[in-house]
Amino acid sequence: MKGAIIHHDEVRRLVEGSGLLPLLKCSYEMINKGLISAFVERWHRDTNSFHLPVGEMTVTLDDV
């Protein structure tokens, strides 16, 4: 099985209970660290959104 392994029992129970455990089987062969860093730098915790040069973006469950 590819993907992350959860070592903390409480976290594993929470993920299993949410029904999202199958998502751990997903993996990316190549990760663009520059792109991830750019999004992290633009994240605003107070509004739970990204502040981009073209405007503000909020990710919703429909987007996922």
Mean pLDDT, the chain, whole residue set: 80
Q: What share of the chain is helix, strand, coil (3-state, %, to 5)?
A: 40, 15, 45
What is the domain range of residue 36?
A: 31-64
Whole-angstrom Cα Rg for the chain: 15
In 3D, which of 47, 6, 2 has the Cα closest to residue 29? Answer: 2
How many structural domains comprise the chain? Answer: 2
Q: Which tens digit of pLDDT belongs to each residue from 35-64? A: 888 888 898 888 888 988 888 988 887 776
Residues 25 and 35 in one domain: no
Residues 14 and 43 in one domain: no
Q: How confident is the model at residue 28 (pLDDT cuts 50, 70, 90)?
A: low
